[in-house]
Amino acid sequence: MKVYQTNEIKNIALIGGAKSGKTTLAEAMLFEGKVINRKGNVDDKNTVSDYREIELAKQNSVHTTLMYTEVDGTKINILDTPGFSDYVGEIISALSVVETAVLVSNATVGIDATSINAWRQAEKTNTPVLFVMNQLDHEKANFDQVVAQLKDNFGEKVSVAQYPVSTGEEFDGIIDLILMKMIKCNKDGAKAEIVDIPASEMEKAKKLHLSLIENAAEGSEELMEKYFADDTLSIEDMRLGIRLGMRSRSIFPVFAVSAKFSLGVARLLEFIEFSCPAPSGIAGERKSSTGKIFNSKPEDPTCLFVFKTSIEPHLGEVSFLRVYGGAVEEGMDLINTRTGNKERLSQLFIVAGKNREKIAKANAGDIVTTIKLKETHTNDTLAIAKAEDEKLEPIQFPEPTIQMAVKAVNSSDDEKMGGILHEMHKTDPTIHAGLSRELRQMIIKAQGELHLNTIKWYFDNVHKINIEYYAPKIPYRETITKSARADYRHKKQSGGSGQFGEVHMFIQPYSENMPTPTDFPVRNKEEHELPWGGKLVFHNCIVGGAIDARFMPAILKGIMERMERGPLTGSYARDIAVYIYDGKMHPVDSNEISFKLAGRFAFITAFKNSGPKIMEPVYDVEIRLPEEMMGAAMTDLQTRRAIIMGMDSDGKYQVIRAKVPLAEMHKYSTTLSSITSGKGTYTMKFDAYVQVPVDVQDKLLKAYEEEQEEE
């Protein structure tokens, strides 16, 4: 296999909606580059990209697939991403290592919600975008209408570089505004011809050509001066201007294709070769944790970034690597900058879907895979030395938007289920799962219901473990609003030595700089930062030896155990100051267990008499949606006890900022998708614990009592 130099490599990611034809376009690209000798078909389940069992079953992409093709000696690495927003982690990881995002749109349906969300991810990663309008051979295709949608959603820098002479069954010609020629297509597979533009199209072509030149000239001052002097630009200057404009995201060219019949695909690949940003340019930069910039220079020390991990049958863990400096060779030893441990790259592969070909070397800018790394995972850097300035910035994955409790139908599978979820997080960092000690549930967090359903598919069909989702409990907190006193005597006699301990206690709400009661002196004070937030401040106020100091830890332990399962609902208690000011001992029967129980029950009594309150977690929620759907979203938020904090506009979209109790956010992703036809997105971040309303507290207390009775 040829070793490609950095200047012979281009990297693209195919993004866009589920029915835009990305997988079919990838197939046509590989066919044009002679990587495959026969095009597969999604319906026939034989494409290079969608080869995994789940993708064959669902007939859509679920994971990003790495492929490549070749055009005139240039290797084009292709990352085909899923078309649903729930798989946003796959989209983000792909965009983080390419220099061009190819946003594929369906000429029959236009811009859908996933395309808009994919565009936003490209904005966040500052990735240049090239639009490809696909399926122009369909009878309902409408090129001009979709271009208008593109400009409406993404701005006037969307620039038509090609347009079809006709669409539907008659689609056989594309006017190329860079070449100012017509590409005469042939559906029987014959090579396209480059011919003169028909007279009937010349006026339209000249008008659009001028618009494209104006946008390309803005790529640099030198090109602008040439344009002003000559009223035009050469093909070479146009290519340079478009390349510079794409790199600065000031131009977004639109190309026309029919991937199904490979019409226009060869010219698209030629454009990627000549005009899309190169790995060694600004678009291919990646910073280290210290700000050092790596931009795929062959002369730099070897530096690789792991942007994706997958688990393949018969291979195990496969690591996907982008080379950001120097070159990597088979058998090379590198250092994982996170762990400091050495990793040997025993084998290197270039891949096209499930097909792998061994290579001996890969240069800066290339994307390759390796297998069986010991402790290296997604977001890790492999470099010559362990140095902070060689630790590349990690991919920032979004926070989960949905969470569910999960359990194995057969409890004997619980441990195995936990291990599988841990492995899933390795391959998809947007999946989070863990056993909540507080809720006593296994909680799984994901990007939406489709994401959760995908996880369940793997359990059902691959791991053969039956699991079920159910609503997670809410991590409430319990606290007090006023002070109270209580005492409790624990006495037990059953022949021989008995148990005896009596504790007198005063409790009050804890706050910073709170006054200390003057009723009793404080001999010793302990402040305990609670793992779940808040504090317990424990005061020993015993004088005269009423309780021996050796029993104080037992009293504290009894109180702490009860704070772990609060008296109201069994939730964690927090922010309480406790004063032990009196009690009694027995010279024979007093022991640690006696005072632990006495402390526990005295605390329960005092707690219930001190104006106890349940506190709930409240989240900052930011919702982004089309303006015309604001009313429905606001009405829904009102039913969720939301407090609207503000609203802003973001182009054609509106942004609502609100504080919403976590208890009201269950399955919100599904509701928002329904309200906005999939166009709304949201993020949520923990803000604070606040007291629940009285009516809500009453319901929680009643539900807890019923639960205790059932147990």
Residue-by-residue DSSP string for 69-115: EEETTEEEEEEE--SSGGGHHHHHHHHTT-SEEEEEEETTTB--HHH
Q: Are residues 653 and 635 in the same domain?
A: yes
Tell me the torsion sign for CA atoms 342, 345, 351, 353.
negative
**pLDDT digits over 164-211, tens only?**
999 998 898 999 999 999 999 877 766 888 999 999 999 999 999 999
pLDDT at 437: 86
Q: What is the CATH number of the domain that holds 510?
A: 3.30.230.10
What is the CATH number for 630?
3.30.70.240
Same domain assignment for residues 377 and 415: no
Structurally, how many domains does the chain consist of?
Answer: 5
Q: Which residue, 338, 370, 390, sits at the end of a domain? A: 390
Query: For residue 130, what pLDDT is reported?
Result: 97
> What percentage of the chain carries pLDDT values higher than 90?
76
Distance CA 53, CA 383 (A): 35
Confidence (pLDDT) at 560:
96
Q: What is the mean pLDDT of residues 549-576?
A: 94
Kindly report the CATH number assigned to the domain that includes residue 10.
3.40.50.300
Burial of 501 (0-12, 13-18, 19+ CB in 10 A): buried
pLDDT of residue 388: 67
- pLDDT of residue 495 exceeding 70: no
* Whether residue 570 is found in the same domain as residue 525: yes
Residue where one domain finishes, among candidates 253, 280, 307 = 280
**What's the confidence (pLDDT) of residue 563?**
95
| Tens-digit pLDDT profile for residues 69-100 | 999 999 999 999 999 999 999 999 999 999 99
Select from 444, 473, 502 the last residue of a domain.
473
Contact in structure between 127 and 98 (CB atoms under 8 Å) = yes
* pLDDT over 70 percentage in the chain: 99
Q: Tell me whether residue 379 is in a domain.
A: yes
The per-residue pLDDT for range 607-656, each reduced to its tens digit, is 999 999 999 999 999 999 998 999 999 999 999 999 999 999 887 789 99
Would you state the pLDDT for residue 192? 85
| Residue 467 pLDDT grade (very low, low, confident, very high; cuts 50, 70, 90) | very high
Position 231 scores a pLDDT of 81
pLDDT at residue 653 in the model:
87
Q: Which domain holds residue 628?
A: 614-696
Identify the pLDDT of residue 634. Answer: 95
pLDDT value of position 512: 87
What's the pTM?
A: 0.88
Q: Are residues 460 and 498 in the same domain?
A: no
**How much is the mean pLDDT over the chain?**
92
Say if residue 337's pLDDT is above 80: yes
Question: Is 704 part of a structural domain of the chain?
Answer: no
> pLDDT category, 108, cuts 50, 70, 90?
very high
Whole-number pLDDT of residue 219:
81
Q: Report the pLDDT value the prediction gives residue 711, as an integer from 0 to 100.
A: 60
* Residue 321 near residue 328 (C-beta atoms within 8 A): yes
Q: Residue 701 has which token pair?
A: 């207390």
